[in-house]
């Protein structure tokens, strides 16, 4: 039978761990609510802004002149993996690293790849690998604001406009619900027209009419950078909400596992204690019988 002292120490240790996982679950639940509210509010704005840009540019011959839409031969690629700063969130970070490496190995094998990690886990993973890195935004989640995310988006956009990069891919977790996060590897640049075929036909036939001042070209020139920055910010917010959802789920499961382990340990403790008491009684009875025989 197991030593009673060892079992009791294990029970104490598991109880302490369970208290920590419960607390982390509650903290993640509170953070998730705020992060979820942000992404829910951002999605309609991002979708509407993209729809306006698609409708305006679909009927415009100047779309080919947009620097962020110009397609070039792919020689230099920028990968932007978005992870968290902390662990204890299940496979959240591992999935991003795997998806990023799969994208690099399958789509850009042999190309010059640069990585701009967002989140300390991505930075830690890629600093061990032989890649060019832009590390200015690895601590972005320490104080997540639009201004900081905009700076990261502008760095990628400037690199593309100058010809430093020929394609930019953002890899992040899209928030679906608390238990489900979907890994996305989306092309950030060159930008693509995401309008449906019906929307494109309507724009071409002038069925979607806008009064544009001072000109269509100027509006597109202003809308494109704004739309790209909002799109980048949306991806970061999706990842932030997904992180808290994944950690909440992981801590909930850890708390349940700790509860199951406590049941087994307490059962083992009671059995060991009962066996020890039984042995003591047997020793006392044996001793009494020996004294009585003498």
Catalytically annotated residues: 89
Interatomic CA distance for residues 148 and 142, integer angstroms: 10
Rg over alpha carbons for the chain, rounded to the nearest Å, is 29
Which residues on adjacent β-strands are paired with residue 169? 79, 187
Whether 258 contacts 11, CB under 8 Å: no
In Å, how far are 7, 250, 263 from 257, measured between CA atoms? Answer: 17, 10, 10
Whether 53 contacts 223, CB under 8 Å: yes
> C-alpha angle with apex 101: 179 to 232, nearest 5 degrees?
65
Phi, psi of 16, deg, nearest 5: -65, -45
In Å, how far are 152, 182, 199, 273 from 235, measured between CA atoms? Answer: 12, 12, 24, 56
In Å, how far are 60, 186, 210 from 219, measured between CA atoms? Answer: 11, 25, 11
Interatomic CA distance for residues 294 and 284, integer angstroms: 16
Whether 236 contacts 116, CB under 8 Å: no
DSSP for 167-205 reads EEEEEEEEEEETTEEEEEEEEEES------HHHHHHHHT
């Amino acid at each position: 039978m197991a030593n009673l002292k060892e079992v009791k120490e294990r029970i104490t240790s598991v109880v302490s761990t369970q208290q920590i996982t419960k607390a982390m679950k509650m903290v993640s639940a509170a953070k998730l609510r705020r992060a979820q509210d942000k992404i829910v509010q951002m999605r309609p704005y991002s979708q509407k802004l993209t729809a306006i840009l698609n409708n305006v540019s679909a009927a415009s011959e100047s779309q080919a002149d947009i620097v962020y839409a110009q397609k070039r031969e792919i020689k230099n690629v920028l990968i932007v993996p978005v992870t968290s700063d902390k662990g204890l969130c299940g496979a959240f970070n591992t999935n991003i690293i795997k998806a990023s490496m799969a994208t690099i190995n399958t789509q850009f094998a042999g190309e010059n790849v640069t990585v701009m990690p967002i989140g300390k886990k991505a930075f830690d993973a890629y600093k061990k690998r032989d890649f060019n890195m832009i590390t200015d935004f690895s601590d972005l989640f320490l104080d997540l604001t639009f201004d900081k995310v905009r700076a990261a988006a502008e760095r990628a956009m400037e690199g593309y406009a100058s010809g430093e990069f020929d394609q930019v891919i953002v890899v992040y977790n899209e928030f679906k619900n608390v238990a489900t996060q979907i890994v996305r590897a989306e092309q950030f640049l060159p930008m693509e027209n995401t309008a449906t075929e019906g929307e494109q036909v309507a724009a071409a036939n002038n069925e979607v009419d806008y009064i544009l001042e001072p000109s269509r070209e100027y509006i597109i020139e202003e809308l494109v950078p704004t739309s790209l920055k909002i799109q980048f910010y949306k991806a970061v917010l999706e990842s932030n909400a997904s992180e808290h959802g994944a950690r909440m789920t992981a801590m909930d499961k850890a708390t349940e596992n700790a509860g199951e382990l406590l049941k087994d340990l307490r059962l083992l403790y009671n059995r060991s204690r009962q066996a020890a008491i039984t042995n003591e009684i047997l020793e006392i009875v044996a001793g009494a019988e020996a004294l009585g025989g003498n």
